[in-house]
């Protein structure tokens, strides 16, 4: 029997600037940390760069036409800091004009623009001055955010400060897997704090300009389960991952504090790093970080089953970055003794387990424990698979089921009382998938990278059916 979604529920799709725009050095845009990182030998599989990507910079009208054909109500995109304020310097009129044209095209087609200010593409010039480990970057980010608002604030209501600060701090500054590719517990801690401080400062500044804006942050969150809930070591493993992945960001944003148990865990591994991080937290910082939100974005791909014991057969699952075999350091500074457990669930092309019910539990937990009175949006959810083109079509049965099952999981969360207002499929287009280059395809629309031809996959058609019916 069909499961209905509320009439005001928002269906959309999401992308990120560096992953789709291309035009890497056109019209005044200069190098971002991803332009630099992608050129480090071995940093990205295949040596791929985002120089061309999906050429969305030149094809945005075509892409908005695809969105309209799918019936999308909203489009979540990010602006490129390196395009708007190249090298972190003065505003770039040509870059701002691109986003003006994009927003105008969306509005003319009845699609809500949902803007993310930071999806990981800091100007490389700022990284060379310390990047997110420098408090000065907070000021530079606020300048950038206000520049974007100057250009688009009269037409864009929904603003997200940061996408997945866990990735742009620990995965980027501690694990070295993402740009800028640093390997430091201290740098990861400093980056996380300065990212959150930039978020809070930006919310305050934008709200002071226009109280009618809807302002939020997007966090990538997980469900951390103990393999044996009666085993203290397994419970502790789940606590550590929940703390470092979820609570490290939820607690300061909603409660104005970092989780004390995780601070102790990290201090046991690197006391100097924690001491330097604590010294960087100034009076008033946490009050700024906990500035009230109008919306919370939740990105979910899968959960974790965790044990405090090595697995006897040597088989374990992988953490969220999906490239455990290439990591030189863990993104979790205090994950000693944590082991990921296989549970026989279907897996995506990223080798991530497919766990829709985890999304239901995550949304209800976040709604009850943190986001009381704050609407929640699933701002990313999707799957990579090895698509095959047959007679010009992509019959991606697994991705179609993934979308169906996860929209149903959102409906379950709403029925259980979670105030979930929307769902954005990741991703609208096949694109540059960070450390994987062009080797992983998440799109509900296929992109032929040689010809730039767009082809709606069966999963896109299924999503369009769900949107039209407002039921799954």
Containing H/E element for 308?
none
Q: What angle do CA 371, 372, 376 make, to 5 degrees?
A: 45
Catalytic, out of 21, 105, 127, 164: 164
State the pLDDT confidence band at 334, using cuts at 50, 70 and 90: confident
SS3 content of the chain, % helix, strand, coil (to 5): 45, 15, 40
Q: What is the percent of the chain with per-residue pLDDT over 70, rounded to a whole number?
A: 96
Q: Catalytic: 304? A: no
Is residue 322 within 8 Å of 433, Cβ to Cβ? no
State the pLDDT confidence band at 326, using cuts at 50, 70 and 90: very low
Q: What angle do CA 399, 401, 407 make, to 5 degrees?
A: 105
pLDDT for 96: 98
State the pLDDT confidence band at 321, using cuts at 50, 70 and 90: very low
Catalytic, out of 21, 304, 380, 462: 380
pLDDT for 366: 98
pLDDT for 330: 74
34-56 pLDDT per residue, tens: 999 999 999 999 999 999 999 99
pLDDT for 312: 61
- Name the β-bridge partners of 122: none
CATH architecture of 10-221+247-261+288-300+348-469: Alpha-Beta Barrel (3.20)
> Does residue 320 register a pLDDT over 70?
no
Q: How far apart are CA 425 and CA 453, in angstroms?
A: 20
> Does residue 332 register a pLDDT over 90?
no
Mean pLDDT of 433-442: 97
> Does residue 280 register a pLDDT over 50?
yes
**Among 173, 360, 418, 179, residue whose Cα is nearest residue 277:** 173
**Among 62, 59, 52, 63, residue whose Cα is nearest residue 24:** 52
> Does residue 319 register a pLDDT over 60?
no
Containing H/E element for 121?
none
Q: Catalytic: 353? A: no
Q: How far apart are CA 308 and CA 202, in angstroms?
A: 40
Q: How far apart are CA 24 and CA 133, in angstroms?
A: 25
Mean pLDDT of 126-139: 98
Instruction: State the pairing for strand pair 420-426/376-380.
Output: parallel
pLDDT for 325: 33
9 half-sphere exposure, CB direction, 13 A CA radius: 24
176-222 pLDDT per residue, tens: 999 999 999 999 999 999 999 999 999 999 999 999 999 999 999 99
pLDDT for 289: 99
Mean pLDDT of 90-112: 98
**Among 96, 170, 94, 89, residue whose Cα is nearest residue 133:** 170
> Does residue 78 register a pLDDT over 80?
yes
What global pTM score does this model have? 0.97
361-407 pLDDT per residue, tens: 999 999 999 999 999 999 999 999 999 999 999 999 999 999 999 99
Mean pLDDT of 309-324: 55
Q: What is the mean pLDDT of the chain?
A: 95
**Among 34, 35, 1, 70, residue whose Cα is nearest residue 425:** 70
Please give the span between the terminal C-alpha atoms of the chain, in angstroms, as a whole number.
Answer: 9
Domain boundaries, the chain: 10-221+247-261+288-300+348-469
pLDDT for 328: 43
Q: How far apart are CA 11 and CA 109, in angstroms?
A: 15
pLDDT for 316: 52
């Amino acid at each position: 029997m069909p499961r209905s979604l509320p009439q005001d529920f928002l269906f959309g799709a999401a992308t990120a600037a560096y992953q789709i725009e291309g035009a890497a050095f056109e019209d005044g845009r200069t190098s971002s940390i991803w332009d630099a990182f992608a050129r480090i030998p071995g940093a990205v599989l295949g040596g791929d760069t985002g120089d061309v990507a999906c050429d969305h910079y030149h094809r945005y009208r075509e892409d908005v036409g695809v969105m309209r054909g799918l019936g999308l109500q909203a489009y979540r995109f990010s602006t490129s800091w390196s395009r708007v304020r190249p090298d972190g310097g003065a505003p770039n009129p040509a870059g701002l004009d691109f986003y003006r044209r994009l927003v105008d095209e969306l509005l003319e087609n009845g699609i809500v623009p949902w803007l993310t200010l930071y999806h990981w593409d800091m100007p490389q010039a700022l990284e060379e001055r310390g990047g997110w480990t420098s408090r000065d970057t907070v000021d530079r980010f606020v300048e950038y955010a206000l520049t974007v608002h100057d250009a688009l604030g009269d037409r864009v209501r929904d603003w997200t400060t940061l996408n997945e600060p866990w990735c742009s701090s620990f995965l980027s500054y501690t694990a070295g897997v993402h740009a800028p590719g640093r390997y430091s517990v201290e740098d990861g801690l400093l980056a996380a704090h300065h990212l959150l401080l930039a978020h809070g400062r930006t919310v305050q500044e934008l709200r002071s300009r226009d109280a009618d804006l809807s302002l939020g942050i997007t966090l990538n969150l997980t469900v951390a389960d103990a393999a044996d809930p009666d085993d203290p070591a397994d419970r502790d493993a789940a606590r550590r991952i929940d703390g470092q992945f979820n609570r490290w960001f939820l607690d300061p944003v909603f409660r104005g504090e970092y989780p004390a148990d995780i601070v102790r865990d990290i201090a046991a591994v690197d006391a100097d790093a924690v001491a330097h991080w604590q010294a960087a937290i100034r009076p008033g910082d946490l009050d700024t970080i906990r500035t009230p939100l109008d919306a919370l974005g939740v990105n979910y791909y899968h959960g974790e089953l965790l044990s405090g014991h090595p697995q006897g057969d040597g088989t374990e699952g992988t953490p969220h970055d999906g490239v455990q075999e290439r990591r030189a350091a863990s993104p979790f500074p205090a994950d000693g003794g944590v082991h990921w457990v296989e549970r026989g669930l279907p897996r995506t092309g990223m080798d991530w387990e497919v766990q829709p019910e985890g999304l239901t539990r995550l949304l209800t937990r976040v709604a009850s424990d943190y986001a009381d009175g704050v609407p929640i949006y699933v701002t990313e959810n999707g799957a990579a698979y090895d698509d095959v083109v047959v007679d010009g079509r992509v019959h991606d049965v697994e991705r179609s089921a993934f979308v169906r099952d996860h929209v149903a999981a959102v409906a379950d969360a709403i029925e259980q009382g979670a105030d979930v207002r929307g769902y954005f499929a990741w991703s609208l287009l096949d694109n540059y998938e960070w450390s994987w280059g062009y080797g992983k395809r998440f799109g509900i629309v296929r992109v032929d990278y040689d010809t730039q031809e767009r082809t709606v996959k069966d999963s896109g058609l299924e999503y369009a059916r769900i949107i039209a019916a407002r039921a799954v």
